[in-house]
Amino acid sequence: MNTLKYLAGYPLHLQTRVHELIEQGRLGAMLAEKYGQPHTVRSDGQLYDYVQALKDRHLRKSVPLGKVTYDAKLQVMKHALGTHTTISRVQGSKLKTSREIRIASVFRDAPAEFLKMIVVHELAHLKEAEHNKTFYQLCTHIEPDYHQLEFDVRLYLTHLDMEQR
C-alpha cells in the first residue's frame, strides 16, 4: 500500500478506506457530490475581504491583517496547508505588527468549504503558532466542522495529485 502523504497522521483504517475509494475510482466523484459548491473569491482583493470578514466575526481582537494573497508557489504540505508570517515594521515611533497570510492557489479553484477550512486554519494561527490543543479549539470555535473539513481537504489534495499522474 502506497503512503498517502496528506493523510499520514490519520488512523490506518481511514487510510485503507481511502485506498479503496481510489482503487474503485470513486474518490473524485465522492468529493464532488459532497462539496459541489464553488466560491467566488477569485482575486487577492476578494481574498482579503473574505479573510477580514471571518476575522471580524470570530477573532476581532487579534493582530491586524497585513497582506493576504493567493500564492501559486506555495507547496501545501511543506507549509502545513498555508503560511503565516509576522511582519513587524516601525511606523513613526511605534513598532507595528501585522500578519501576512498566504493561501496556496490550489484553493482558488477548490470548493467553497475547503477555502473556508484553510482560511480558518490560518486565522487560528494569528493567536496560536503551534498545532496544539488550543489551536484546534480555535479552529472548531470558528468552524464547528473543522476536523471533517481538514480531513476532506487532505482527500481533495490526494485526489488532485492522482489526477496529475
Q: Which residues in this chain contact Zn ion in the complex, by CB under 5 A? A: 80
Residue type for position 96: K
- Tell me the residue ranges of DSSP E strands in the chain: 65-71, 83-91, 94-104
With beta carbons less than 8 A apart as the criterion, state whether 108 and 123 touch: no
Q: Give the CB-nearest residue to Zn ion.
A: 80
Q: Which C-beta is closer to Zn ion: that of 21 or that of 156?
A: 156
Closest distance of CB 45 from Zn ion, Å: 24
Q: Which three cell numbers stand for residue 61?
A: 481582537
Closest distance of CB 146 from Zn ion, Å: 12
Q: Which C-beta is closer to Zn ion: that of 29 or that of 80?
A: 80
Q: Which C-beta is closer to Zn ion: that of 33 or that of 130?
A: 130
Closest distance of CB 119 from Zn ion, Å: 12
Residues 58 and 37: their CA atoms lie apart, in Å, by 23
